[in-house]
Amino acid sequence: MTSTNTVPTRWTASLIDTGDGSGDMMIELPDDLLAQLDLHIGDSVQVEVSEDKLKLLMRKVNTLNT
């Protein structure tokens, strides 16, 4: 038997204050992550927090232009 264990890729992202006094933050994603997820300006992303609250799970959401 061969093992196909893989180590998940990890990225570090920065949180940036929106500067509008709301306390909201933006996340700046690294260029290599954007490329791997095929993300571009205007794309929608679904973000979920893992149950242990240690990971963000992200995926590109396909939307139809109407």
Model pLDDT for residues 18-60, shown as the tens digit of each residue: 999 999 988 888 888 888 888 888 888 888 888 887 888 888 8
Residue 33 has what pLDDT? Answer: 83
Confidence tier at 66 by pLDDT (50, 70, 90): very low
Domain boundaries, the chain: 14-61
Per DSSP, 21 falls in state S
The topology under which CATH files domain 14-61 is Pemi-like Protein 1; Chain: D (2.10.260)
Residue 16 has what pLDDT? Answer: 92
Residue 63: which of 37, 36, 45 has the closest Cα?
Answer: 45
How wide is the angle at C-alpha 61 spanned by C-alphas 9 and 52, nearest 5°? 45
Cα(57)–Cα(61) distance, integer angstroms: 13
Residue 19 has what pLDDT? Answer: 95
Q: What value does the mean pLDDT take over residues 6-14? A: 72
